[in-house]
Amino acid sequence: MTQHCACGNSGCLETNCSGMALRRWYEQQPRNYPLSDLFVHAENAPFVQSLLENAARAIATSINLFDPDAVILGGGVMDMPAFPRETLIAMTQKYLRRPLPYQVVRFIAASSSDFNGAQGAAILAHQRFLPQSCAKVP
C-alpha cells in the first residue's frame, strides 16, 4: 500500500525512510523502550534495515546525479542514540558509480543543534544581503 506523505503526495521518500516512517512502524510494535532508543534496541529489525536501505538508495541516487564533493548527514533520526551511521554510509556506497564518485565523495556528520536551520538561514542572509550593503562607495 502506498503511504500518503505530509506534503500531500503519495509514495514520497519521506513515507518510507524518515522519522515519520519510523514513528509509524514503532507505534505498531509492542513497545518496551522509547522511540528515541529505537536504534539501541531494534537496529536489526527488518523494517529498520529496509528504512536504512531505502535511505541509502536515495542518498546514492542524489550523489550519482549531482556529483557533490561531500554529503552532510544529519537531522533528527541520525541524531538518535546508536544510529548506525557507518552502516548507512556502507549501504550508500554499494550504489555509487565507480570509480567516481565512489572514490571521492566524503560523508560528513552534521553538528547536532536545534539551531542548525536558523544558523543556515543567517549565513544565507549574510551572504546574499550584507556584502551588498557593506560595499565601499567609490
Residue 48 belongs to some domain of the structure: yes
Q: State pLDDT tens for residues 74-109.
A: 888 999 999 999 999 999 999 999 988 888 999 999
Reading the block at residue 116, the C-alpha cell is: 542548525
- Name the residue with higher pLDDT: 124 or 45: 45
- Is 126 domain-assigned? no
How many distinct structural domains can be found in the chain? 1
Q: What is the pLDDT of residues 56-75, one digit of tens each?
A: 999 999 999 999 999 999 88
CA 29 to chain centre: 24
Q: Is the pLDDT of residue 117 over 80?
A: no
Mean pLDDT score across all residues of the chain:
87
pLDDT grade, residue 50 (50/70/90)?
Answer: very high
CATH of the domain at 46: 3.30.420.40
Q: Look at residue 24 and tell me whether its pLDDT is greater than 60.
A: yes
